[in-house]
Structure 1
Amino acid sequence: MSNASIYDTPEYESLRDQLGRFIAKEVEPHAAAWEESGFVPREVLKRMGAAGLFGLMYEEKYGGADSDAMTNLVFAEALSQSTFAGFIITVLVHTDMASPHLHHAGNAAQKDKYLKKVIAGELITAVGITEPGAGSDVAGIRTTAKRDPGSGSGAGSDDWVLNGTKMFITNGVHADLYFVAAKTGPGKRDISMFIVEKGTPGFTVGRALKKTGWLSSDTAELIFDNVRIPAWNLLGEEGRGFYSVMKNFQTERIALGAMAVGHCQQALKLTLDYVRQRQAFGGPLWDQQVIRQRVAMLDAKTRAARAFMYHCAWRVTQGHDIVQDVSMLKALTGELVNEVVQTCQQFHGGMGFIRETAIERLWRDARVLAIGGGATEVMLEEVAKRY
């Protein structure tokens, strides 16, 4: 299956090749062990940082590449050629979901302190938004941050005190730096973002969560019990965190769309290889018309979704409002990947249900892509209310 397009420039192909070599050497031979341990080793992430892969959209003075959203999408899609989604999401949370909060809203002092180390992979990041009672409904969070008057040093430098619980936080156990959303006022959207370092007194990992898929990504419950942080740790403007989260959701959802498309491509490749060699009813399964036609239709849908995904990224580079487009993309790809992977698993027969096969792992890992980062139903509502 050829997916050549106008987006396959020499620069993009070079980035894809670089990531392909990294995945072949550093990920695929070892990631089964990471599935058992439940996390990606830090030294692997540091090697990605050293290779310049963690700061494609960030400023050169911090070690970034000053690239655009198209380049970042190429990165996310190429990364998603791995069949180990736990590794993929560990990286994408760091590059596309957590650290963008620092890049977009951080002041010069905050970037000077953290961003170079984030890009180098010396500090791994996580973002704390989801709670036990608030997922896609960001305005429903209950974690609070309250000023403690007179507690800071200097005028207007009151400490903040955080209390609450976050849930389903990817990189939650092993991250070094957390960007945490908390209510700072009485209004539903009076939310601010804060920088919280690992080891801050009162901040603990409640438990590591066991998941159906994404086994090599660590996912945790985070507890904030009277966590005192200085005023300096406020990220961006007070009370504007809700809008910061909404802005960063667009980057996150394009990355998740890329992850879904990558899974579709890998599932189809695995299935073509399998049905061409698997003998049944006097010949290879590929001789069965129903299988050939179903694979062809799934490939067509995947190529269409990929083209729309690149269209969304291109619109970002042009400065357009992309909320409706990206919501469509997230809903479309989250459902499509489950259709593609489940059908491909079906064509593998009994082998598709055996643990440790790539298609079975893709089947488990794909399910959450219709839930995480904005459930399909929420995304469709975002689309509909913009007509």
Structure 2
Amino acid sequence: MIRDAEILEGLVDAVRRFVRERLVPAEAGVEETNSIPPTIIDEMRELGLFGLSIPEEFGGLGLTMEEEVMVALELGQTSAAFRSIIGTNNGIGSQGIIVDGTAAQKAYWLPLMAAGEVIGSFALTEPDVGSDAGSVKTTARRVGDHYILNGTKRYITNAPVANVFTLMARTGGPGSAGVTAFLVPADSPGLSLGQPDRKMGQRGTKTCDVILDDCKVSADAVIGGVEGQGFKTAMKVLNRGRLHIAAFCVGQAQRLCDEAVAFATTRHQFGKPIAEHQLVQALLADSATETYAGRCMVIDAARRFDAGERIIQDAASCKLFCSEMVGRVADRAVQVHGGAGYMQDYPVEHFYRDVRLFRLYEGTSQIQQIIIAREMCAQR
């Protein structure tokens, strides 16, 4: 659902120019320093990128799913680190508040997130809990007008720079019904951070453990004010997040296609550009075809989302196909580059490492397969 095509085109064009003129030239520096320059983060704030999906009444752009997908396709044309810094504010870091937060929680946190003055983070994964989100072991015990939290969260995106965590902890018995969602400020007593993780790729993104040692938070930190709804809250925001990630994967694939074509048309072997060799053409053609298929899938699913249809299977299919697809495209792009593709002098080297993560976070490919099959059988 595109509400105003002219306004959206203006936004997409602004993001496209920002990506090409500011972010792409900064990629090498981010790889080298493992950090995003503060000036670029300030420019992201000015563009409204921290509030793409946050409702307009709270200072965001309030994009529909289809509109958000169109922006994500452009953001995907550069290093994943740039999306990561704004991703949690637009996705799992804010959507839980949007769908289930109290009026007071929305009024306080969402304007700050939309402006980029607060960076949100989503703390679900634990050392022994990942795909089985209903088995959270972090505990939250109510004492008067506050809760005491104990446990460790692992691989938490933006944790080193976050101001608030949407954090899942167990307030009741076993299973998903005992999980509650909390809004935990980063400066809460008893909250500390582990050492930054040393990752395979996506340099410039910040992840680390979040350690809760008798961490004290106010009772009004419970999202929605009701215990036992945390798992349901997390599930509600996943469809949007999966479509966003899928669209970003398509953008990454398009950038890799462009890099492969640029190299293939200028690199000569056997007296002609390698783009004129049929086996290289096959690599390019397969990548272009899969990228196009992913784009069509995501846009279709986004339109269904905006129409209010049940898209659990569609969203999981998009996440599965697009995250796997961009891995294949990255592999082909390196192959087209030959030995040069293995060198850090060319962008395809770090894109190859970066895109591997998309098959893991926000639901592994295997989890997506289970969801798809479950939905298929439920429709009988």
Deviation, 1:8, is: 11
Aligned counterparts of 2:308 and 2:3: Cα–Cα separation in 1: 19
**Cross-structure match for 1:85:** 80
Q: Which aligned pairs between 1:1-387 and structure 2 lie closer than 5 A?
A: 9-82=5-78, 84-148=79-143, 151-152=144-145, 159-189=146-176, 190-236=178-224, 237-387=226-376
Residue pair 1:92, 1:255 contacting (<8 A) in 2 also: no
Deviations 1:269-310 (Å, cap 9, x if unpaired)?
A: 110111111000121101111111231122112111110101
Deviation, 1:264, is: 0.8
Residue pair 1:46, 1:122 contacting (<8 A) in 2 also: no
Deviations 1:105-157 (Å, cap 9, x if unpaired)?
A: 22121122221111111111111011111112111221111111xx32xxxxx
2:202 alignment partner, SS class: coil
Aligned counterparts of 1:214 and 1:103: Cα–Cα separation in 2: 28
Deviation, 1:102, is: 1.9
| Change beyond 3 A, Cα 1:24–1:299 | closer
Deviation, 1:167, is: 0.7
**Cross-structure match for 1:156:** none
Deviation, 1:232, is: 0.8
Deviation, 1:179, is: 0.7
Q: Which has the higher helix share?
A: 2
Deviations 1:331-369 (Å, cap 9, x if unpaired)?
A: 111111111110111110111000142110110101111
Aligned counterparts of 1:293 and 1:103: Cα–Cα separation in 2: 45
**Cross-structure match for 1:155:** none
1:294 alignment partner, SS class: helix
**Structure 1 counterpart of 2:56, which letter?**
E
Deviation, 1:187, is: 2.9
Aligned counterparts of 1:345 and 1:7: Cα–Cα separation in 2: 39
Residue pair 1:31, 1:216 contacting (<8 A) in 2 also: no
Deviation, 1:20, is: 1.6
2:128 alignment partner, SS class: coil
1:348 alignment partner, SS class: helix
Deviation, 1:31, is: 3.5
1:123 alignment partner, SS class: coil
- How many residues align structurally? 373
RMSD: 1.8
- Deviating beyond 4 angstroms after TM superposition, the runs of 4 or more aligned structure 1 residues are 6-9
| Change beyond 3 A, Cα 1:327–1:170 | same
1:133 alignment partner, SS class: coil
| Change beyond 3 A, Cα 1:333–1:186 | same
Q: TM-score, normalised by structure 1?
A: 0.92
**Structure 1 counterpart of 2:296, which letter?**
A
Aligned counterparts of 2:187 and 2:220: Cα–Cα separation in 1: 17
Aligned counterparts of 1:92 and 1:383: Cα–Cα separation in 2: 25
Identity %: 30
Listed as ranges, the gaps of 5+ residues in structure 2 are none
1:50 alignment partner, SS class: helix
Task: Select between 22-31 and 256-265 the one with higher mean Cα deviation.
Answer: 22-31
